[in-house]
Amino acid sequence: MTLHSRNMIEKLISFDTTSRLSNLALIDFVEDYLAGHGIAAKRIYNDDQTKANLFATIGPEVEGGVVLSGHTDVVPVDDQDWSSDPFIVDEREGKLFGRGTADMKSFVAIALAYVPEMVKADLKRPIHLALSYDEEVGCIGVGSMIKHMSAHLPRPRAVIVGEPTSMRVINAHKGIRSFMTEVTGLEAHSSQQQLGVNAIVVATKLITFLTDVFEEMKARGDPSGRFEPPHTTVQIGTIHGGTAINIIPHHCSFGWEYRSLPSQDVDEIYHRFLAFSAELDAEMKQTSPGCGIVTRQRALAPGLQVEEGSEAETLALALAEQNETFAVSYGTEAGLFQQAEMSTVICGPGDIAQAHKPDEFVELSQIAACERFVGKLIEVLK
């Protein structure tokens, strides 16, 4: 079965691959589609086999190929006010609306739609397709696929991660680390505060510490001037705690993250937070040894470091017909590929400003630009 880009986009959008759900129905479809063109694919499952990465090679098993990488999961549509069904593509005013049209199923769909052309071209250097799961919840899935690629794949020339960049070539982005911190205090009557440990008060001290660190990061700034905002950011996203107004709260938890400049030590803020937490933890235990602070990492995605003139950058600029690279503040799987010593850039259709929002869309002009990009890549590798 050969589907052109529009039909393939519609097909991929129709799979509800919200990160809390399985992506296997989509993986089944893609694997069958590739098999129909004589291409074998490799699945790399998660631990409970409810999700999978998919890796496939079109062309010879030799060095110098190009990896086209994309994630298959999308963010939730819960409580969002959509004008149309988010899992049915709706075309309006030169745009395709649907969850994942920008972030980032359109790139994956175009790569798949061009598989028949790749096969027909009898490539001298391969094109590798690398589809991952759980990018949206912290780039969790791609690591096992990268390990497989490092162990079994002849060294590729470049990795192109097709996140929405408006088809601009991105050679740097911030890293992201996210955490959940849980504070356990000691309950008591609110009139007897000397007998208890207020978990919410301790949590607010930790949050104030992070807020002060954020202000420090603003002052330190980014000497390159390429990022917006031009500094490392710190964010507290969720907080839960307490039972009743007249009970000293036993528990408080909060979720937080920071997005660090690629030039910054990715561990700095975390280690400083742990040191401050240890001081508060010791104070709490003076009242009750059952009190304490526990911080668990939820996600880690390294920044993408600038590699001026790298093979991936040179190739992507030529394919996109551009002569300038850019940096972005959001995180992607690109830094993980780079850590595995694969030359990597980001370039894909759609605008990140439309991602994660109701009525997410990609412009048809972006689809056409990405089609030209992939078509030129096939010509380069023939």
What residues are annotated to the active site? 73, 135
Asked whether 174 and 232 are in contact (CB, 8 A), the reply is yes
Angle, helix 199-220 to helix 268-287, in steps of 10 degrees: 160
Which residue, among 89, 91, 71, 88, has the nearest Cα to 30 in the 3D structure? Answer: 71
Asked whether 164 and 348 are in contact (CB, 8 A), the reply is yes
List of E strands, the chain = 41-45, 52-58, 66-71, 90-92, 95-97, 127-132, 158-161, 169-173, 175-184, 233-241, 251-260, 292-301, 325-328, 344-346, 361-363
313, burial (CB in 10 Å: exposed 0-12, middle 13-18, buried 19+)? buried
Which residue, among 354, 376, 373, has the nearest Cα to 363 in the 3D structure? Answer: 354
Give the 3-state secondary structure of residue 54: strand
* Token pair recorded at residue 370: 């990405």
* Token pair recorded at residue 134: 């759980």
